[in-house]
Each structure stands twice: as C-alpha cells, then as structure tokens.
Amino acid sequence: MTVRVMLISPAMNAALREARFAGDAPLDASGLRQTRSAAERVPAADRFRHGPSVRCTLTADALGLRSTAEHALRDWELGRWAGARLDEIGASEPEAVAAWLADPAGAPHGGESLLGLCARAGAWLDSLGDDDGGRVLAVAEPALVRAAVVHALTLPPQAFWRLDVAPLALTELSGRSGRWNLRCGRPLAPEPAR
C-alpha cells in the first residue's frame, strides 16, 4: 500500500550550533520560537510519531502534534563520542574519524555504524507500508532523515555524507517498500532576516 512519509527535522539547539555529536539537549529559545512560528505550516497526517530525544519531543510539542515517541526514530548512536564536539574528536582521534568517514561499516566510537543506521531507518520506513498507507508525519533527527533517504533511493552509503538536513525542514517520501519517491526538504519556518 502506498504511504506518504513526511519527516521534519527538529529545531535548532545549542548542541547543533556547537557541532556536537548526538546529545540529548533541549531546544534553545530561538529554536522554540522558530518551531512555534512553523506550527501553522505543518502538513496534515493520519499518524504522528517523533524520535525519543528531548529535542524531537519538544519540537513535536511546539508544533502542536499529538505524536507518539518511537524508538526506531532515535538518533545515531555514536557511543563514546556522544555529546562531544566534532573538532575535539577530530583533534584527539583523527585516525578514528577518518576511518569512520571512509568505512560505512566502521564504528570506532563503539556505537552504531552508518550501515546500521541506514538499515534501522530503512526497516522503520519499509514497515509503514504494512499498515493502511495514508500519511505519516514524524519528527526525526537529521541523521535519521538522511539515512531514510539513502535507504529509500537505494543510494550508496557514502551519499549520506552529501545530504544536508536543515532544522525544521520537511522531507517527503512517498511509495512503499522497494519503491520510494523523494520530495526534497522545504523549510517549515520562515527564513531568518539577514
């Protein structure tokens, strides 16, 4: 059965501004304001889900969604790197970072490999066709959105590193297991004045 999956990345927070690896930090005041202003532009859906992180939960709440946390939508599990800044890890473990970026099966941080993340995102995405189709809207961390796109379009895992998912962007996939179409992300919140 055909399903339309709409993935919204959560709003900005301090950890994202500092280029930290996954960490369960709440939204900051700016992210909360942007999310509330985007609430009126959230598309209609039949089912609502969100990742279990504080950031996803607060984004879903601020958008006015009556959504359910779903463990499969959790952020990329980066083991001992979780919460650290990318520049810190790059300086202290340059070989490990290089191996991680080059090998989709590598997990020098002790967490989930890129292949594992893509498989988890793909299993969740493909399971949605088992229901009655319809429209599913989920607030999910950017890494999960990127992994879902890689799976849906059967891209090589290295394409993950070439995909950007902005805060409060909407990425739409429609289809079913084995055949997905992509509508690239569009911002829910208005662009900030420059």
Dist. CA 136–CA 130, nearest whole Å:
13
Give the pLDDT confidence of 28-44 residue by residue, as tens digits: 898 899 999 999 999 99
Give the pLDDT confidence of 76-121 residue by residue, as tens digits: 999 999 989 889 999 999 999 999 999 999 999 999 999 999 999 9
Q: Is 146 left (phi over 0), alpha (psi -120 to 50) or beta?
A: alpha
Share of the chain above pLDDT 70, in %: 93
- pLDDT at residue 129 tops 90: no
**Domain chopping of the chain, boundaries:** 3-187
pTM greater than 0.95: no
CATH fold of the domain at 3-187 = Rossmann fold (3.40.50)
Rg (CA), the chain: 16
Pairing of strands 47-50, 134-139: parallel
- pLDDT at residue 49 tops 70: yes
pLDDT at position 177, please? 81
Give the pLDDT confidence of 139-155 residue by residue, as tens digits: 999 999 999 999 999 99
- Give yes or no for a contact between 161 and 31, defined as CB atoms under 8 angstroms apart: no
